[in-house]
Amino acid sequence: MTEKTAKPKALTGLPSYLLTRIAHRYNQTIYAELRAIGLSTISTRIIASLKVFDALTINELCVHALAEQPTMSRALDRLEADGIIKRTVKDEDNRKRVVRLTGEGEVLFERIWPVTLSANEKMFEGISDQDRDVTMRTLLKVLENIRVHPI
Amino acid sequence: MTEKTAKPKALTGLPSYLLTRIAHRYNQTIYAELRAIGLSTISTRIIASLKVFDALTINELCVHALAEQPTMSRALDRLEADGIIKRTVKDEDNRKRVVRLTGEGEVLFERIWPVTLSANEKMFEGISDQDRDVTMRTLLKVLENIRVHPI
C-alpha cells in the first residue's frame, strides 16, 4: 500500500469541517423554530437582509440570502403577494429597481430577530468576550479571503 | 412607528451570518473543483469521513456528511456499485454493520485531500497562527454548544 497522504487525525481539526457542520446545525435548528411561525429559510434571510440594508437589488439579495436568482425571484413573488416586501425604485434620481420591506415585513422582522439573537447567544455560551472577538475578526477575514462577491 | 428592535448595524456582526456565508462559499467553491473529478458533495464527505474513522455506521455517516438517511443510503448504493466503499461488519465479535473504503476509495481520497487542504489554507491566508488557534478552539466549543449528536 502506498501511503501518499497521512491520515487526518480528526475532522474537527479541519476548519471547513467545523464551519460547515456548525452552519448546518445552526440553520437546521433556527429554521425549525422559524417554520413554526410560517417562515422559510429564504424568506427569513430576505427579511433580515432588507431590515439591515433598507433597499437591495435582486442580485444583492442573492448574495446575502445565499440563493440563486430563479429561487430568489420566486421567493420575492410570494413575499410580495403576502404584502411583506415591495418592489420599487431606489429613489427618484436613481431608477435602479430595488426591494424593500413593507410595514408588515417590519413587524415580521420583530419576530425573527429575537430567535436569531438567542440562537447566536447559545452558540457562544461559555466563550470569553476576548475569544469571541478574535473569532469574529478572523471569520470576517476568512470571508474576505474566499468571497466571490464584493459585498 | 414603534421601534421595538434596534436595526442591526451589519449582518457581518452576526456570527451565524458569517458562519453560514463562509460555509456556503467554501462548499460552492470546493465542490465545483471536485465535481470536475466526478465527485458529488456527499460522496466527498463520505470518503473523507471513512478515511478518518476507518469504519462508520450509516447513522454516524449521516452526522459527519450532513445528510439524511435516505439520501445517505442512495449515495452508499452508488459508491458501492462503483467499488469505492464496501458494507461489512465491524469485526467478528461485533456484528454491527459498518461502511469502509475499498482500495479504490483510498486512491480517490488521495485526490480529494489536497483540494480540501488547499481550500482550507486559502481561507486562513494572512491570519496569524495565534488567531487561527483561538478561532479553531472557539469553533470547537461552538459545535459542542449546539450539536444534537454526541459524535
For chain A positions 86-145, those within 8 Å of chain B (CB to CB) are 106, 109-110, 113-114, 116, 119-120, 122-127, 131-132, 134-143, 145
Span B11-49, pLDDT tens digits? 888 999 999 999 999 999 998 999 988 899 999 999 999
The whole-angstrom separation of Cα B47 and Cα A10 is: 14
> Of A26, A27, A145, which has the smallest distance from its Cβ to B125's Cβ?
A145
Structural domain spans, chain B: 41-146
Question: What is the rounded CA–CA span in Å between residue A46 and residue A76?
Answer: 8
Contact B31, B44 (CB under 8 A): yes
The cell for B110 is 488521495
Cell numbers found for residue A136:
469574529
| Domain boundaries A30-121, corresponding CATH code | 1.10.10.10
Q: What is the pTM of this model?
A: 0.87
Q: A residues 3-62 near B, CB within 8 Å? A: 4-5, 7-16, 18-27, 29-30, 48-49, 51-52
DSSP annotation of B107 reads H
- Which residues are CB-contacts of A57 (< 8 A; sequence separation ≥ 6)? A96, A97, A98, A99
Specify the CATH number of the domain B41-146.
1.10.10.10
Only one residue has cell 497562527, namely B129
Predicted confidence band of residue B2 (pLDDT cuts 50, 70, 90):
very low
- Reported as a single tens digit per residue, the pLDDT across B87-146 is 998 777 777 899 999 999 999 999 999 999 999 999 999 999 999 999 999 999 999 999
User: What is the DSSP secondary-structure string of A36-96?
Assistant: TTT--HHHHHHHHHHHHHS-B-HHHHHHHTT--HHHHHHHHHHHHHTTSEEEEES-SS---
**Interatomic CA distance for residues A120 and B141, integer angstroms:** 13
From chain A, the residues in CB contact with B105 under 8 A are none
Reported as a pLDDT band with limits 50, 70 and 90, residue B4 is low
CA nearest to B113, candidates B2, B10, B33: B33
> Model confidence over A5-53: pLDDT tens digits?
666 778 888 999 999 999 999 999 998 999 988 899 999 999 999 999 9
Contacts of B111 (CB under 8 A, 6+ apart): B37
